[in-house]
Chains A and B, each alone.
Chain A
Amino acid sequence: MRRTTMVAALAAASLTLAACGGNSGGSNATNDDATGGGDEAAGGDSGEVEVFTWWAAGSEKLGLDAMVEVFNTQHPDIEFVNGAVAGGAGSAAKDLLQSRLQANDPPDTFQGHAGAELKDYIDAGQLEDVSDLYEEFGLTEVFPQDLIDLLTVDDAIYSVPSNIHRSNVVWANPTVLEEAGIDPTAVPASIDEWITDLEAVQEAGGTPLSVATTWTQVHLLETVLMAELGAEAYTGLWDGSTDWEGAEVTGALETFEQLMSFTNTDRDGLDWPEATQMVIDGSAAYNIMGDWAVAAFEEQGVEDYVHFPVPGTDGVFGFLADSFTLPVGSPNPDGARAWLETVGSLEGQVAFNQAKGSIPARTDADASEFSEYQQTAIESYGQDTIVPSVAHGAASSVAVLNGISDATSKFTTGGSDLATFQSELVAAVAG
């Protein structure tokens, strides 16, 4: 009996010790970290720079590697630390970033979609104004004015874009089009004309338009809004100058409803690669997707494909961009500035975008160094009106985008009628 008591007491004592040890160890570690961070900040422009992205695989990873190579030649004294977080098309990284910023433990610089998606971080006082860097690196002259206007929030700019993607592109399979009696080289001038083609495909027995889960449906919706409202009124949807309750929007939503009736029924279970794959495999004729889809065609060696701007949006460039920021309390702000310099530089942008398949945000890049699709995108980017994409965070805050997604999903699954859909969109944008 006595022995058990002793064993128990011993065990208890060691447990308590272990607990204390754990605690003090933990607090020591954080202290070390804090002082470590302080030293780095005091150390100036050498040291390490942690770059937080969700570019962990595929062409995105190749792009990041190419950018790092340029960074190492431009700033050999600074060590690049890869803070990439994989998973969920960036959602895993954003969740982690949210908690790191909340705990005042920001990376030196992090990736974010340029435009309104950064607004939450700006409002939360987590980002530094980098407009002085635009002057210093001469970026004001080389970025198009449309883009700079979209990046500017209350006369300040909070990020440096590394690349540009176009959202309003239709991808099509010419074989399927020919079978349905459609000339694959003819580009429909309006959505109405395009709907005639979609009907022809439906009669021939194929899926006319492939789409995937909610965000791709929002992506489809935004391109329809661009087509029906035109660039100016579309941009006005996001700054309050266009009325969401107006008849024009109702008309666009009716077109959206009609387009959704041509889509595959298993859409909600798919993500964009599967929807684009349907076009590659010939089980669907058309797919509306951003121009990262070009990588899907190229990876599989498909050369025979058709792409054109969503009918009715010729001359409009639905843009989304990845960009880098300077967080408040960055442990090595000078290192972060050096990274931003590379991101904004011509060499950095060319190296990155050749590998990733997007196009440089700078207009002074030599188009002949890029692939055939990229050349057409660079040309449009130079002359089209640039408007922000909502599905990719360029047009609205995360909360507004979530509201729009909810309303869209409810509508496309049959949970609401068109009038309810419109009123829910109004409510979502009002916040």
Chain B
Amino acid sequence: MTRTIRRWGPPVLLLTPSIILIAVFVYGLIGINFQTSLTDSHTAPQATGQAPTAFVGLENYFALLGDDAFQHSLKNLVLYTVVFLVGTMVLGFVWAWLLDKPIKGEGIFRSVYLFPMAVSFVASGVVWRWLLNSNEGENASGLNRLFQIIGLDFLQNPWWNNVTWGIAAIALPAIWQLSGYVMALFLAGFRGIPEELREAGRVDGASEWKLYRHVLFPQLSPVALSALVIVGHMSLKAFDLIMSISKPANYQTKVPAIDMYLYKSSFDYANSAAVGSILLIIVAAVIIPYLVHNARAERR
């Protein structure tokens, strides 16, 4: 008995405060959020308890998913995520691959690429709002002006003001900020592969491509997966960058997180909570398989 206490007591004591805090402030509030999303609390009096709210089941979810505006937000979210993921993964990998060769001044390049990550999304958004100015021709500024100066006029475009593809332009600053981080992950992955493996491959007569295909890439796949999950979930929660480049009311750059904010500010708590739950489910769909995969890998 005393032995069990001595063995389990300290860890349990240590963990209890954080378990209680997380239970209340994370899972408890997720529960309340989900509960709110199942009611018809769409107006100010209902939000303050002056008027009754009723349980409506999944009605809000069906209404949201059937709504053109919300579908537009979801489509924007998918587009943003795809561009953001592909951009950071490709750039991050190429940079890591280049830096993996023994070159002079590697430390400098590493810092240069990694540094944008230290800038907050809001600060970089303010600068990129100017760079991504949508004026073309005589009034152009920012990148469009730069294109004119270097004689690439045909590259001028309205950036984030295009109603279909605009959101992809907002992914540019995000790629600029996060590619260095993905590079650092891949670089660590490259460095973790013992030189002997490459040598063994070369001795066995593998070409440089085969070496990458069959020896290095398999070793890098856990790193790639981590990078995908980390960048992916950041992208799904995109809010601050969009808020500081565009404005919440701008239709072309709406994503679910912006919708959630707007519903909340117009006292429509039920729809706001429903959007929040939908976002949580989407993020969970990315994160949970990863956690399961990791847990299995550790058990092995």
Q: Which of B39-47, B221-229, B273-281 lies at the binding interface?
A: B39-47
Instruction: Please judge, given known A-B contacts A91-B265, A265-B134, A265-B135, whether A121 and B44 are in contact too, CB under 8 Å.
Output: yes
Q: Which of B57-65, B102-110, B249-257 lies at the binding interface?
A: B249-257
Docked-complex contact B251 and A123, CB < 8 angstroms: no
Nearest-neighbor residue (CB-CB) of A126 within chain B: B48
Give the size range of B's interface with the partner.
35 or more
A268 at the binding interface (Cβ < 8 Å): yes
Instruction: Please judge, given known A-B contacts A11-B14, A124-B44, whether A269 and B249 are in contact too, CB under 8 Å.
Output: no
Nearest-neighbor residue (CB-CB) of A207 within chain B: B139
Docked-complex contact A101 and B252, CB < 8 angstroms: no
Name A's interface SS: helix
Interface residues, chain B, CB within 8 Å of chain A? Answer: 6, 9-11, 13-14, 16-17, 43-45, 47-48, 50-51, 69, 72, 129, 132-136, 138-139, 158, 161, 163, 166, 245-247, 249-252, 262, 265-268
Specify which of A11, A15, A123, A399 is in contact with B266 (CB 8 Å cutoff): A399
A415 at the binding interface (Cβ < 8 Å): yes
Docked-complex contact B268 and A399, CB < 8 angstroms: yes
Docked-complex contact B44 and A12, CB < 8 angstroms: no
Segment 1-52 of A: residues with Cβ below 8 Å from B: 5, 8-9, 11-13, 15-16, 19
Docked-complex contact B247 and A213, CB < 8 angstroms: yes
Docked-complex contact B163 and A414, CB < 8 angstroms: yes
Docked-complex contact A102 and B47, CB < 8 angstroms: yes
Specify which of B45, B51, B72, B138 is in contact with A415 (CB 8 Å cutoff): B72
Residues of B within 8 A of A202 (CB): none
Q: Which of A131-139, A183-191, A361-369, A405-413 lies at the binding interface?
A: A405-413
A91 to B243, CA, bound (A): 13
Docked-complex contact B267 and A264, CB < 8 angstroms: no
Docked-complex contact B14 and A268, CB < 8 angstroms: no
A266 to B138, CA, bound (A): 13
Docked-complex contact A269 and B139, CB < 8 angstroms: no
CB of A354 to closest CB in B, whole Å: 32
A121 to B13, CA, bound (A): 46
Residues of B within 8 A of A95 (CB): 265
**What are 12 pairs between A and B in contact, CB < 8 Å?**
A12-B14, A102-B48, A124-B45, A124-B267, A126-B48, A207-B139, A214-B250, A266-B161, A269-B132, A269-B161, A413-B166, A415-B251
Instruction: Please judge, given known A-B contacts A215-B249, A398-B267, A402-B262, whether A9 and B13 are in contact too, CB under 8 Å.
Output: yes
Residues of A within 8 A of B45 (CB): 123-125
Interface residues, chain A, CB within 8 Å of chain B? Answer: 5, 8-9, 11-13, 15-16, 19, 91, 94-95, 98, 101-102, 120-121, 123-126, 205, 207, 213-215, 264-266, 268-269, 283, 397-399, 401-402, 405-406, 409-410, 413-415
Instruction: Please judge, given known A-B contacts A101-B48, A124-B48, A265-B136, whether A413 and B265 are in contact too, CB under 8 Å.
Output: no
Nearest-neighbor residue (CB-CB) of B144 within chain A: A266
Docked-complex contact B266 and A402, CB < 8 angstroms: yes
Docked-complex contact B139 and A413, CB < 8 angstroms: no
Instruction: Please judge, given known A-B contacts A13-B13, A123-B43, A266-B135, whether A410 and B50 are in contact too, CB under 8 Å.
Output: no
